[in-house]
Structure 1
Amino acid sequence: MASQKEIFVAFFRSGILGFGGGPSAIPLVKKEVVDTFQMMTDEEFAEVLAIGNTLPGPIITKMAGYIGYRTGGWIGLINALIASVLPTVLLMILFLAALKQLKDFDFVKGMTNGVVPVVTVMLGLLTWDFLKKSKKSLGWKAGGFIFAASFAGMFVIGLHPGVIIAILFLAALLLPAKKEGKDE
């Protein structure tokens, strides 16, 4: 069993130094839990990584939760999760406070105004990609109907997007799948 201090230090260091998300932080987590604190072996870490990759969500928080629980029980789980997300939370608070202080400067206004078109184009490309994939799997009629119904549900009726996603998920489970090779 690892001490709570070791669990916290291992995941806090990985969280603060792992800039770029999971792929950059995984080697740091390995260095901490396998080499530095010897909480597990290389083989055990590889198994944890494989299990973490099969589940949805951020890999580092999944690994932190599992490794924390395995080496420190429920307290270790909570400790590791807090330690892995705390650096991001602190940096976000710092950056947002700085942005609030600097928001009236022209260069900051220019940066924030420059981000909006970039995000718009990225979301447009993502939407186009989804439309192409829906044509392949559903056909234009069914895909167009789902788009129109979702749009009407959100903007005409005022439904929350989560409700629409839940309805579409249930519909996907209940309705028969489209046969391969058939296109509308």
Structure 2
Amino acid sequence: MQMKIFWAFFKVGMLGYGGGPASIPLVHKEVVDTYEWMTDEEFQDSLAIANVLPGPIITKLAGYIGFVKKGWLGMMNAIFAAILPTIILMIVLLKLFAEFKDLDWVQGMSHGVIPVVGVMLIILTYEFLEKAKAKTTWKFIILFTILSFLLLAVLDIHPALVILLIIAFSLFRKEGRI
């Protein structure tokens, strides 16, 4: 099991060029689809919690998932696997990149990542919405999305508070109070 944990998060670390947003769909693919360590709902919950906490999203997800699967050793294994590719690339490629950063193909490669990450996030969002639709209505989802946008963008409420409000709302709704 430790080797599977290492390999799953090592692949995420190797292929997650573009930072956290680019890596989230890769983590989802590994832990939900490939190894079936979590359900979609469990992954969504862990992603929501990881977004509230400070620090890089992938190390938080790796640490949590590794801990759930194999305790403290699994947590350390998953975090190390997730950051090892970055450590290697930083040491080996940083000087090369600095020398070639002004070349057109290097700049093009860097700019080409942005639309790929956008599409991956759209696909993940669509999949989450499809799962949410099975438990509620589109009217509720749209209303909830608009309300969340207003709280975050218009009223500038901290995302942690919005997530706490959503958790409280969900608990009251589950108990039939709302």
| TM-score bracket for the superposition, by shorter chain length | 0.5 to 0.7
Unaligned regions of 5+ residues in structure 2, if any? 104-178
Tell me the CA shift for residue 96 of structure 1. Answer: 3.6
Matched residue, 1:91: 89
Tell me the CA shift for residue 23 of structure 1. Answer: 0.4
Summarize deviations over 1:104-140 as a string: whole Å, max 9, x none. xxx77x89xxxxxxxxxxxxxxxxxxxxxxxxxxxxx
Tell me the CA shift for residue 97 of structure 1. Answer: 5.3
Matched residue, 1:31: 29
Separation in 2 of the partners of 1:72 and 1:24? 26
Separation in 2 of the partners of 1:56 and 1:48? 14
Which of 17, 20, 34 lines up with 1:19 in the alignment? Answer: 17
Matched residue, 1:62: 60
Please state whether the residue corresponding to 2:36 is helix, strand or coil: coil
Q: Which amino acid aligns with 2:74?
A: G
Q: Which amino acid aligns with 1:19?
A: Y
Does 2:33 correspond to 1:48? no
Tell me the CA shift for residue 69 of structure 1. Answer: 0.4
Tell me the CA shift for residue 98 of structure 1. Answer: 3.9
Which of 51, 73, 76 lines up with 1:75 in the alignment? Answer: 73
Matched residue, 1:166: none
Separation in 1 of the partners of 2:18 and 2:95? 22
Separation in 2 of the partners of 1:49 and 1:98? 34
TM-score by length of 2: 0.54
Q: Percent identity?
A: 58
Unaligned regions of 5+ residues in structure 1, if any? 112-184
Q: List structure 1 runs of 4+ shifted beyond 2 angstroms.
A: 96-99
